[in-house]
Structure 1
Amino acid sequence: MPRTTPKPVVLLLSLPLLLSACAAPDALSGAAPSAPTPHGYVAGAQENPEPQTGLLTLDAATGEGQLLSLLTEETSDAGTHGPVTAAHVDGRYALLTTAAGVQVFDTGAWTVDHGEHKHYYSAPPGPVGSLAVPDAGAVAGDGKSIAVFSPSGGYASVYRHMDLDAGSMAEAFRITTSPHSGMVVPYAGHFIASVAGSSAGSSAGSSGGDPAVAGGVEVRDASDAVVLGRQDCAGLAGHARVRAGVVFACADGALLVTGEDGAFTAEKIPYLDGGAGLPPATSLGHRPGSNELAGPAGDSGIWHLDVAKRAWTYLPTPVPVVTAAAVGDGKRVLAAGVDGSLLTLSPATGEVTARAALLPPGSAHRPQLRIDTSRAYVSDPVRSVVHEVDYADGLRVARTFDVPAADFLLETGL
């Protein structure tokens, strides 16, 4: 009688062959399996255990820049870009407005925020190229797209970070409104576009006002279709991205635009008592990622906005201030006075809780103020220095950096 092997043994003997057939090539060769690509990864970048924060300072007249690492204090040349009229940072990229368009400089450091965790990346810094937008005006970005508005053209050219990462300077598409002094702000996969102050040349009704300036906003998708119709914001003068959404400064308060899953809403946050005859805030300074904003209220004080509470507070100051920003901890608003002092004010009581003589008096050379989770950075254009201030320790100056020029100041790596 022929001998047969029981079926269970056949299966066991065959199992190594089956496993070998299903194994990945790395397993067969003995090599370690490939690691999954981390979120936010860009080819050529290095992931780090902590944010690679730094300061980019610029000379307004020449565009000469310098990068300074806040971790090592090492400096590197950041190129010369020609006369610069405005400077912004969006993720890894510094965006420098010049007569030739918007010069893009890779700062070599950025953070990818996934809510419950963050990734910190670095790469060699260097110039990327120019975004050739005629009559380039307001620039805004959300870390994924950058919109450069042309006031005379009445449109914004949109550029994607993924294209810039790959070295392409090509315009992805346009968001078109009408010629006016306006802006387009990328947000939640869509674009908040300003519309002119009257129906003349506007595609979205009328609320009166000067057609040469922005009088409201509407939300568009990437095909330039309107998703949320016109929301009035007379005297629109600036915007800030907060945790709750995007806030626009209006003559009568603020307009908060929020969005989720392609659905958008807008809410007006009026000044208390109609502003009580005080000048509106035309700039909204804050710590990135917070829900508090602040800006000068003319020469008499500061407007503070708690977005979460939908509430404005007026904070009188002992001297006129030239710039202000909220720390976002519910305890502090920082401001630079015309007398050269740096002030801390309590948004709850209006009390000046700290004051330090830091800058030369006068407002001809306005300082710039940048705030992160532990420090504030205050530029001194007259002396070409930047002060690192511990705002939780009575405005103690922790470090002072000598720089070639400090007309513009950006904190990088956030």
Structure 2
Amino acid sequence: MTSTLRGVAPAVATAFLLAGCSASADESDSAVISAPTSAARVEAAGPTPRLAVTHDGGVTVLDAATLEAVDEFPLEGFTRLDPAGDGRHVLITAASRFAVLDTGAWTDQHGDHGHSYTAPPVLADWSFDADGPGHVVTHAGVTVLFADGTGRIESFDPRELAEGRPETRVEQTPEAHHGVAVALPGGGLVTTIGNEASRSGIVVLDRDRNEVTRNEQCPGVHGEAAAADGALVFGCQDGVLVHRDGVITKVQSPDAYGRIGNQAGSDASPIVLGDYKTEPDAELERPQRVMLLDTVANRLTPVDLGTSYSFRSLGRGPQGEALVLGTDGALHVIDPVTATVTRTIDVVDAWTEPVRWQDPRPTLFVEGATAYVTEPAATTLHAVDLTTGAVVASVELAEIPNEITGVSG
């Protein structure tokens, strides 16, 4: 169903989300070693994608073309990775902060052309403070950080990271919860609604943080993805919410409990890929179906893979192909329009998803037309050419890989 648009007085809107102050780069804790000096950089013939891979005790930066290690940084505790949104930096979720890693590969655009550079990677000596750092989302040119422990939302222009600590806008949800926030074109914001006990839906706010609309028919709201037609998708325990142009539509799952908690969108497709679980009481469900959401028709279509997968198995190809890394060791390529598996590519040995979500398991990351797949059991990283379907490179790593992400350079 479609929610009704309704406006509220500013005082009421403020009760939901408090507009916070900006954090200036002049603050006393803003010292940074973020941008390499011009003497350290080397001009490259073109963009040089790089990868970041976590392991127990640190993160390693690799050249995405050769899979050779460029540098390594020690970090204590369990860490997670997200691209920062500028094609150069990576945000590392560590303890009570989002650390900032300059991968040392970037391109400066000059009208109809660009100049590409490489330099030694650098881990900034400052970070974004966050109690329970969680989701990182870049949309509409703005990167938004969500802190689960407090409901703190911090947003910034990721292009400013090249100069050091960016100016940020800090805001707050009424109650802390495991949530996510997404910037909208024109300065608006979508954020989840919830508390420590439950999560119920999303609310849409304008640039002045007045409420535009909300929908609380999304139990257990989790995750987000953007589609090519401008739609934003949020997962529920019984379907999804689709936001487009200030209107929220609920799309119901075919099962009473049909959880879509992780999604993967594509700039090349209006169809979003999601995982799909139907066992509410399972300690760890190992589903064999994924779900495709057509954001134009608002229709969910299941695809049976014949193998299970994990939440780190979802990706999208350069033409909008839906990609799922199965526990059978194969990369399953799905045509999102016909909802059929068009190719399977053997990449790793068969594996079993661990019960603890933090534990290493084969993980998929896609940059351009190359899919990168970790194989923790073999301490190996593989590169797959999505055009030919061939595994074009494999390298043994120094440490057991866990999470992986990358930048376009």
2:134 to 134, 137, 147: 137
User: Does the C-alpha gap of structure 1 residues 145 and 346 become closer, same or farther in structure 2, counting only changes over 3 Å?
Assistant: closer
Alignment of 1:374-413 (within 5 A): 374-393=369-388, 395-404=389-398, 405-413=400-408
Query: Any gaps of 5 or more consecutive residues in structure 1?
Result: 1-40, 202-209, 259-263
Match among 215, 218, 232 for residue 231 of structure 1: 215
Instruction: Please give the secondary structure, in 2, of the residue aligned with 1:342.
Output: strand
Structure 1 residues 94 and 135 mapped into 2: Cα distance closer, same or farther (>3 Å)? Answer: same
SS in 2 for 1:285: strand
Alignment CA distance shift 1:373-1:386 (3 Å) = same
The 8 Å contact of residues 384 and 402 in structure 1, kept in 2 or not, is answered as yes
- CA separation in 2, counterparts of 1:357 and 1:164? 35
Aligned to 1:192: 189
Correspondence list, 1:246-325, <5 A: 246-258=232-244, 264-268=245-249, 270-271=251-252, 274-277=253-256, 279-287=258-266, 290-298=269-277, 299-322=287-310, 323-325=313-315
* Compared CA separation, residues 131 and 226, structure 1 to 2 (3 A): same
Q: Corresponding residue for 2:229?
A: 244
The root-mean-square deviation of aligned C-alpha atoms, in Å, is: 3.4
Give TM-score, length-normalised by structure 1: 0.72
Report deviation, 1:268: 2.1
Matches within 5 A, 1:14-93: 44=38, 50-59=46-55, 61-62=56-57, 64-90=58-84, 91=86, 92-93=88-89
- Once residues 112 and 238 of structure 1 are traced to their aligned partners in structure 2, the CA distance between those partners, rounded to angstroms, is 32
Q: Verify the 8 A CA contact 1:143 1:161 in the aligned structure 2.
A: no
1:392 to 1:160, Cα distance in 2 relative to 1, 3 A: closer
- Residues 221-276 of structure 1, C-alpha deviation per residue, up to 9 Å, x if partnerless? 2x5x2252223443211012333333222334333334xxxxx42342624xx424
Q: Is the 8 A contact 2:49 2:105 kept in 1?
A: yes
Equivalent residue number for residue 349 of structure 2: 359
Any conservation in 2 of the 1:287–1:372 contact (CA below 8 Å)? Answer: no
Assess if the C-alpha contact under 8 Å between 1:154 and 1:176 holds in 2.
yes
Q: Is the Cα–Cα contact under 8 Å of residues 334 and 344 in structure 1 kept in the other structure?
A: yes
More strand by share: 2
TM-score by structure 2 length?
0.73
1:130 and 1:169 in contact (8 A); partners too: no
- Identity level (%): 20
**Cα 1:384–1:306 shift into 2, 3 Å:** farther
1:158-177 pair list within 5 angstroms: 158-161=155-158, 163-168=160-165, 171-177=168-174
Counterpart-to-counterpart distance in 1, 2:65 and 2:298: 37
Tell me the amino acid that sits aligned with residue 256 of structure 1: V
Equivalent residue number for residue 5 of structure 2? none
Q: C-alpha distance in 1, partners of 2:215/2:112? A: 34
Q: Give the Cα separation in 2 of the matches to 1:367 and 1:131.
A: 29
What is the number of residues matched between the two proteins? 349
Residue pair 1:302, 1:316 contacting (<8 A) in 2 also? yes
Q: Whose RCO is larger (CA < 8 A, sep 6+)?
A: 2
Answer with 1 or 2: which has the greater Rg: 1
Mapping for residues 331-350 of structure 1, pairs under 5 Å: 332-347=321-336, 348=338, 350=340
Letter in 2 for 1:194: T
Query: Matches of 1:143 and 1:349 in 2, distance apart?
Result: 28
Residues 201 and 214, structure 2, Cα contact 8 Å, conserved in 1 = no
Name the CA distance, whole Å, in 1 between partners of 2:72 and 2:36. Answer: 21
Q: Is structure 2 residue 96 aligned with structure 1 residue 100? A: yes
| Counterparts in 2 of 1:160 and 1:374: CA distance versus 1, 3 Å | closer
SS of corresponding position for 1:382: helix
Q: Provide the C-alpha distance between the structure 1 equivalents of 2:186 and 2:371, rounded to a whole number of angstroms.
A: 31
- CA drift at 1:145: 3.6
Deviation digits for residues 265-291 of structure 1, max 9, x if unmatched? 2342624xx424563221112456654
| Maintained 8 Å contact 1:156/1:184 | yes
Query: Could you tell me how far apart the structure 2 residues matched to 1:55 and 1:164 are?
Result: 18
Indicate the residue corresponding to 2:8 in structure 1.
none
Following superposition, the deviation at residue 120 of structure 1 comes to: 6.2
- 1:68 positional shift: 1.7
Return the match for 2:178 from 178, 181, 184. 181
